[in-house]
Amino acid sequence: MPFVGKDVNSGARINILHLKDPRKELLKGQVVCPFCEAVFAIRGQVEGKLTIHFMHTTDECASSYISHPESIEHLYFKEYIARNLQSELNEYSDAKVELEYPIESMKRIIDVAFIFPNGWIVAHEVQLSEISTQELAARTKDYRNEGIDVIWWLGKGADTASNRNWCYTNQGECYTIDFETLTQISNTPQ
């Protein structure tokens, strides 16, 4: 369930979250998947509980990029990181934030990429479904081979003692997602 699509005519990236009213601003058929070129549909509401996003009309992306099924929670947290991290962390103030940023050479899509003016990339990956420490290590190595630093956000099934331990040991720090608390905060009237 992506936030980012491609304009079928101009080829420009379209982030649905940057639009005020996507159903008014986009024509039907105007936006396709950047990877498999299938026409995207729009799902959800701009204001409301369900986050607005694009979707494949078939269940999955047919491209060769490695994709994992994304829950609404995964989508929500990606957006949360993109929105908040740059304002919270001074070191990110010069970086460009890109949701769903593809790395062609490894056929992977970074959840949230911070791209620095000198070309450095820090990848923030949201991991909510179960994952082993071996898989964490393998994916981290894939990114490092491309010169990309990766930071894991562990939540739900992925937030286990062994995964936390792996992060502390190998990355020096561990980021976890308390999804219930976050949802409560975001649903609290301002």
54 binds Zn ion (CB under 5 A): no
Between 59 and 88, whose beta carbon lies closer to Zn ion? 59
In the complex, the smallest distance separating the C-beta of residue 126 from Zn ion, rounded to whole angstroms, is: 19
In the complex, the smallest distance separating the C-beta of residue 168 from Zn ion, rounded to whole angstroms, is: 36
Q: Which two tokens mark 177?
A: 């997602």
In the complex, the smallest distance separating the C-beta of residue 62 from Zn ion, rounded to whole angstroms, is: 6
Nearest CA among 79, 4, 68, 73 for reference residue 34: 4
Candidates 5, 16, 32, 35; binder of Zn ion (CB under 5 A) is 35
Candidates 33, 109, 148, 177; binder of Zn ion (CB under 5 A) is 33
The DSSP-derived string for 162-183 is HHHHHHHHHHS--EEE-HHHHH
Nearest CA among 94, 67, 65, 100 for reference residue 82: 100
Nearest CA among 55, 71, 53, 59 for reference residue 157: 71
Candidates 28-36, 79-87, 134-142, 171-179: pick the segment binding Zn ion (CB under 5 A).
28-36
Residues that bind Zn ion (CB under 5 A): 33, 35-36, 61
